[in-house]
Structure 1
Amino acid sequence: MSSLFDPVQAGALHLANRIVMAPLTRNRAPGALPTPLMATYYSQRATAGLIVTEATAISHQGQGYADVPGIWSAEQVAGWKKVTDAVHARGGKIVVQLWHVGRVSHNDLQPGGQAPVAPSAITAKTKTYLIRDGVGAFVDTSAPRALDIGELPGIVQDYRRAARNAIEAGFDGVEVHGANGYLLDQFLRSGSNQRTDAYGGPIENRARLLLEVMQAITQEIGGARTGLRLSPVTPANDVSDPHPQPLFEYVVRQLAPLQLAYLHFIEGQTGGARDYVQGDQPFDYAALRAAYRAAGGTAAWMVNNGYDKTLAERSLKEGADLVAFGKTFIANPDLVQRLRQGAPLNEPDRSTFYGGGVKGYTDYPALASNG
């Protein structure tokens, strides 16, 4: 049986172990530019089999929180190159998570103070993060406008450009953020997508934008360097769908021919109950994986949500290939070593999760070196 510490191949990515650092928004990129401090932070965690960066906006329109990084400009690419160089210097592998928040934004964060965009003009009952006069605070999202069908090809091209920029910046690949109630997830779910055109209504239409994005990115950089994150039942950011099982089984069957590097699933409620039920019955993740494999899909299967070592090892025995750890990586830059040795874990300082500097970011202690 595979253990957490065995190597694994995920598409073109040869990973030293099966422990993944999950994407974690930290709001430490003023002006949407990656910083040298971020290079330190990620390189400290380079013993992970794979690092997935914090969600990174594909365009100014795609931004939804203050001081999150982007990857649409040459200056951003140059900033990220310092991050990838630092991770690679320590033997790590790193992919960037590509993000468009859709309606989970605020006028203050949008180009020209415009309204955020969405599948339909339905305000998300959720919060976003603004910094005003140097003080960060969570505030209600702004009312969005519905995207015109003629705008959607441009968004697909923004994803394609971001993937191309990622490779230029030295990333080993990309992960598309299709989860947690952001733009692609908003299109998937009937609670946020009430369109009547080719991108709304039946499952095939609601999945269209996500599949077009995945096709564009894999054409640009290859499926073997492309991953995708999905969250079939999470209510995060006010998304819902009464029938998630057929929706996501359709999605994974359509993804199978792309031969992706990996698929990354949040099981249950993001950051909450793993057995969360949305819709008409409990979600069957084993059936989802079976549907994907039956369609010829070969991507490594990554699981996420509330994992510890015991649960992770059990999940590997049940067919998972990779296990993503989130908050534990914030406080434990050497998480792989701690899990291997059964060492105690540092507790994260939640007051430093969003915004700030070194404190609660790069100052968590590592175990004493064996050398």
Structure 2
Amino acid sequence: MPNTLPILTPAFINDTLINNRIILAPMSRASAEDDGTPTQNMMTYYESFAKGGYGLLITEGTYTDANYAQSYANQPGMVTERHKLGWQNVTQAVKKTNGKIILQIFHAGALSQHVTQSYAPSAVKPAGTMLEGYGHKQGAYDIPKTLDLNDIQAIKQGFVQAAQLAEEAGFDGVEIHCANGYLLDQFLTDYSNERDDQYGGPLQNRIRLTCEIIREIKQRTGYAFIIGVRLSQSKANNLDYFWPNGVTDAHAIFTSVADAGVHYIHLASDMKGYTYHSRTKDKINLTAYARDVTGLPVLANGGLHDIELANAVIDKKQADFIAVGKSAMVNPDLPQKIQAGKPISEFTFDVFKYGVSIEGQLKWQSENETRRGRPEKS
């Protein structure tokens, strides 16, 4: 394929030139050490995507405090000096290949499958059940305790400190996770936020904490340091949720985070795909709308390993970048394959035969390679 495909053209986020529009989406791999420190396997894993030509890598969600933020066992953190040094090994490996990498910073809130007692905007029991394959806790979610204003300030400082550590570790920026039903999205969502203070009630109050985090990170980090935000309609525990007031809600959310100073918006549609959750209930395209009302680069997500669809999204200016998740696991060299016109390996959930970790995938890959290498039985 010619290199003039829309997804293979360069573009900027803030002042950083991204060599193409194909971004590694954040994917939870539960592969850190028990204390949250990134491992050698994680370094090799992220390095493989940089070598494979992805324009930008976004890491898995990384917890921001040692008390209540962690979602599952072996999730990486960015809280301690040891965490920072572990991530520094990752960024150095990525930079050796001229890659660019952003740390996604995250607080689980009520959806934690790890902490003894979860905390959230309000004491509302989350719908659904815990994600299989992550952590030791399974089944129904616990009822969280309500965060007080001192707790909220501590959470804010956790995000800010994680961003500062990320900059020290060599990351090009951070992505603030306000999506998929986790803590900041719990503040944003009407049914999980019953507060009557400055963080509850009207939508502008419910997005307030995310905006305060954006502003404080911007004050504490360098001009070139990228600050993005991940938003979504759907939740990990509520796949069919849409913003109740459609484009009215979208306008308030997008303009609020833009005014706070983010450099890009990542609209996650990974649960049911781009064509389903990048739209409001009345079918207004949200990625295109975010571009129009903010002027910011927008990352689209959800099934965009479909190259025809991905090119159309960029060509029609519905988004500026496409973030690829599950398909990337079996195509760490996806941009190079597209450039060369080579076939793309099809993702299969059999990848998780031995669990969701990087080690589990390596075992599955080794088993498949051994099987393919066996002579045919006569």
SS state at 2:17 partner = strand
Q: Which moved more, 1:33-42 or 1:255-264?
A: 255-264
SS state at 1:123 partner = coil
In structure 1, what is the equivalent of residue 229 of structure 2? 228
In structure 1, what is the equivalent of residue 45 of structure 2? 41
CA 363–218 in structure 1, closer or farther in 2 if over 3 Å, else same: farther
Q: Within 1, Cα distance between the matches of 2:314 and 2:280?
A: 27
1:121-173 alpha-carbon deviations (Å, 9 max, x no partner): 112123146778xxx67443222111112321111111110000001111111
Q: Within 2, Cα distance between the matches of 1:315 and 1:22?
A: 16
SS state at 1:291 partner = helix
Q: Within 1, Cα distance between the matches of 2:338 and 2:159?
A: 36
1:209-220 paired onto structure 2 within 5 Å? 209-220=209-220
Instruction: Structure 2 unaligned segments of length 5 or more: list them.
Output: 370-378
TM-score, normalised to structure 2, is 0.85
Moved over 6 A (4+): none
* 2:346 alignment partner AA: E
CA 360–346 in structure 1, closer or farther in 2 if over 3 Å, else same: farther
TM-score, normalised to structure 1, is 0.87
* 1:204 alignment partner AA: Q
Residue 74 (structure 2) aligned to one of 55, 67, 70: 67
Contact 1:128 1:140 in 2 (8 A): no
In structure 1, what is the equivalent of residue 333 of structure 2? 334
1:127 aligns with 2:130: yes
1:167-178 paired onto structure 2 within 5 Å? 167-178=167-178
* 2:17 alignment partner AA: H
Contact 2:212 2:260 in 1 (8 A): no
* 1:226 alignment partner AA: I
1:260-294 alpha-carbon deviations (Å, 9 max, x no partner): 33211124x6244732599863343133332223x
In structure 2, what is the equivalent of residue 312 of structure 1? 310
CA 177–220 in structure 1, closer or farther in 2 if over 3 Å, else same: same
CA 359–236 in structure 1, closer or farther in 2 if over 3 Å, else same: closer
Q: Within 1, Cα distance between the matches of 2:130 and 2:158?
A: 25
Contact 1:42 1:87 in 2 (8 A): yes
Contact 1:103 1:144 in 2 (8 A): yes
Q: Within 1, Cα distance between the matches of 2:189 and 2:284?
A: 15
> How far did residue 340 of structure 1 move?
1.9
SS state at 1:33 partner = coil
1:239-254 paired onto structure 2 within 5 Å? 241-254=243-256
Aligned residues: 351
> How far did residue 2 of structure 1 move?
6.7
1:146 aligns with 2:153: no
Residue 12 (structure 2) aligned to one of 9, 12, 30: 9
In structure 2, what is the equivalent of residue 275 of structure 1? 276
1:175-190 paired onto structure 2 within 5 Å? 175-190=175-190
Residue 20 (structure 1) aligned to one of 15, 18, 23: 23
Query: What's the % identity of the aligned pairs?
Result: 34
Q: Which moved more, 1:348-357 or 1:40-49?
A: 348-357
In structure 1, what is the equivalent of residue 300 of structure 2? 303
In structure 2, what is the equivalent of residue 351 of structure 1? 353
> How far did residue 258 of structure 1 move?
4.4
In structure 2, what is the equivalent of residue 205 of structure 1? 205
1:255-274 paired onto structure 2 within 5 Å? 255-267=257-269, 270-272=271-273, 274=275
> How far did residue 358 of structure 1 move?
5.8
Contact 1:353 1:360 in 2 (8 A): no
> How far did residue 25 of structure 1 move?
0.3
RMSD of the alignment, in Å? 2.6
Q: Within 2, Cα distance between the matches of 1:356 and 1:292?
A: 37
Contact 1:66 1:129 in 2 (8 A): no
CA 35–145 in structure 1, closer or farther in 2 if over 3 Å, else same: same
Contact 2:130 2:137 in 1 (8 A): no
CA 322–241 in structure 1, closer or farther in 2 if over 3 Å, else same: closer
1:159 aligns with 2:159: yes
Q: Within 2, Cα distance between the matches of 1:17 and 1:34?
A: 27
* 1:328 alignment partner AA: S
Q: Within 1, Cα distance between the matches of 2:168 and 2:274?
A: 38
Instruction: Structure 1 unaligned segments of length 5 or more: list them.
Output: 294-298, 367-371
> How far did residue 226 of structure 1 move?
0.8
Contact 1:2 1:316 in 2 (8 A): no
Contact 2:25 2:323 in 1 (8 A): yes
CA 362–219 in structure 1, closer or farther in 2 if over 3 Å, else same: farther
CA 260–222 in structure 1, closer or farther in 2 if over 3 Å, else same: farther
